[in-house]
């Protein structure tokens, strides 16, 4: 019987663990809603990342400066996870409070269907890691946040923990690397040093910190846009492109609006392609299953 968004019997976290065990680099695009997540899956990607920057922009029309709430992120994540069968990574910002809040956030993201949650060491309200004005908590408080998240996982939340530090911009590369090493020791599944600014810095990080490492690749951001082969050679396991779809969407919509304003509606997709992309064909197939003669 045909069904919409068929799910694996494995949990999303188990699916992601299996992907991480494969020898190749895991390249994942960013998404911000159910449709963008479906497009990632339709394009053949085995996983996708719910970007807080992109969700804040698309849902609220606001910048990634800590303005979006836990409830709004959780609701968006539920819609995204329900729209696809591939494992989704979720941006958990600073955990939305103290250690107890962080545990609740981890549990909530796991219940929403996320495979992994990213938590960071910025002072709340946080902001995009490639923008100005960042600040971070002490190393001890950063460790406490990740310990709380790991405890939530160990107490039954079926989700991977990705620990992120933004200390490169505020305290230098050595402090940032020291934090990623500490996060690994605490038990984070994946670590993420945000915004290294050169190949040499990326190499030093990869050589100094064990475990799975993620490279955050933003068009015209602070980190060099290396090839996936080069990233893998350096020691990265995951390459995420969190804003590529949002960037492309904004650009396409701006071009379409300009054309429309000038009296020349753009052609765009034909209607059959549009309905296929959003899932009408899947709906029609399932509808036939319940047709009454």
Sign, CA dihedral 191-194-70-34, equals: negative
| Number of neighbouring beta carbons within 10 Å of residue 93 | 25
Q: What is the pTM of this model?
A: 0.93
Q: CA-to-CA distance for 11 and 43, rounded, in angstroms?
A: 22
Dump pLDDT digits (tens) for 175-191: 999 999 999 999 999 99
- Asked if residue 293 belongs to a domain, the reply is no
Give every CB contact of residue 119 below 8 A, 6+ residues apart in sequence: 92, 93, 94, 95, 102, 105, 106, 145, 146, 149, 161, 162, 163, 164
Q: Report if residue 258 sits inside a domain.
A: no
- pLDDT reported for residue 237: 98
Residue 280 in any domain: the answer is: no
Is there a contact between 35 and 59 (Cβ–Cβ < 8 Å)?
no
User: Rounded to 10 degrees, what is the CA torsion of 186, 187, 189, 194?
Assistant: 0
Q: Which of 152, 123, 114, 136 is closest to 193 using CA atoms?
A: 136
pLDDT number for residue 2: 34
Angle in degrees, CA 19, 24, 26, rounded to 5: 55
For residue 288 the two structure tokens come to 């036939």
The pLDDT, as a whole number, for residue 1 is 27
Residue 4's pLDDT is: 59
Residue 159 belongs to a domain: yes
Round to whole Å and give the CA distance between 254 and 41.
25
| CATH code assigned at 104 | 3.20.20.60
Look up the domain containing 179 and give its range.
Answer: 12-244
How far is 51 from 30, CA to CA, in rounded Å? 6
Residue-level pLDDT at 9: 84
Query: Tell me, what's the pLDDT at 164?
Result: 97
Torsion of CA 251, 81, 213, 17, to 10 degrees: -150
Mean pLDDT rounded to a whole number for the chain: 94
69 found inside a domain: yes
Please give, one letter per residue, the 3-state secondary structure of 35-93. HHHHHHHHCCCCCEEECHHHHHHHHHCCCCCCCCCHHHHHHHHHHHHHHCCCCEEEECC
**Tally of domains within the chain:** 1
Bridge-based pairing of strands 160-165 and 190-193 is parallel
In a domain, 277, yes or no: no
Identify the pLDDT of residue 6: 64
Do residues 130 and 218 make contact, with C-beta atoms less than 8 angstroms apart?
A: yes
Q: Is residue 31, in this structure, part of any structural domain at all?
A: yes
Domain for residue 63, yes or no? yes
Q: What is the pLDDT of residue 150?
A: 98
Helix, strand or coil, per DSSP, at residue 122: strand
Residues in the chain, pLDDT under 70: 1-6, 129
């Amino acid at each position: 019987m045909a069904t919409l968004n068929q799910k694996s019997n494995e949990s999303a976290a188990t699916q992601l663990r299996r992907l991480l065990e494969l020898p190749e680099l895991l390249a994942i695009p960013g998404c911000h809603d159910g449709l963008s997540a479906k497009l990632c899956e339709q394009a053949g990607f085995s996983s996708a990342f719910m970007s807080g920057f992109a969700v804040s922009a698309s849902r609220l029309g606001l910048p990634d400066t800590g303005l979006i709430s836990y409830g709004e992120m959780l609701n968006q994540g539920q819609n995204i996870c329900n729209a696809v069968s591939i494992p989704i990574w979720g941006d958990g910002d600073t955990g939305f409070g103290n250690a107890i809040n962080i545990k609740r956030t981890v549990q909530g993201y796991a219940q929403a269907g996320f495979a992994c949650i990213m938590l960071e060491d910025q002072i709340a309200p946080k902001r995009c890691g490639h923008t100005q004005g960042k600040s971070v908590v002490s190393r001890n408080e950063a460790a406490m946040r990740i310990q709380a998240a790991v405890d939530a996982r160990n107490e039954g939340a079926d989700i991977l923990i990705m620990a992120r530090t933004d200390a490169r911009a505020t305290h230098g590369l050595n402090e940032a690397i020291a934090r990623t090493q500490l996060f690994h020791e605490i038990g984070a599944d994946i670590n993420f040093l945000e915004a290294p600014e050169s190949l040499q810095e990326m190499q030093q990080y990869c050589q100094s910190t064990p475990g799975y490492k993620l490279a955050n690749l933003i068009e015209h951001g602070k980190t060099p846009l290396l090839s996936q082969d080069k990233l893998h050679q350096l020691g990265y396991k995951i390459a995420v492109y969190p804003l590529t779809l949002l960037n492309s969407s904004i650009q396409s919509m701006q071009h379409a609006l300009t054309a429309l304003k000038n009296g020349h509606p753009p052609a765009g997709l034909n209607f059959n392609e549009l309905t296929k992309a959003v899932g009408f064909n899947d709906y029609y197939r399932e509808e036939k299953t319940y047709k009454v003669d």
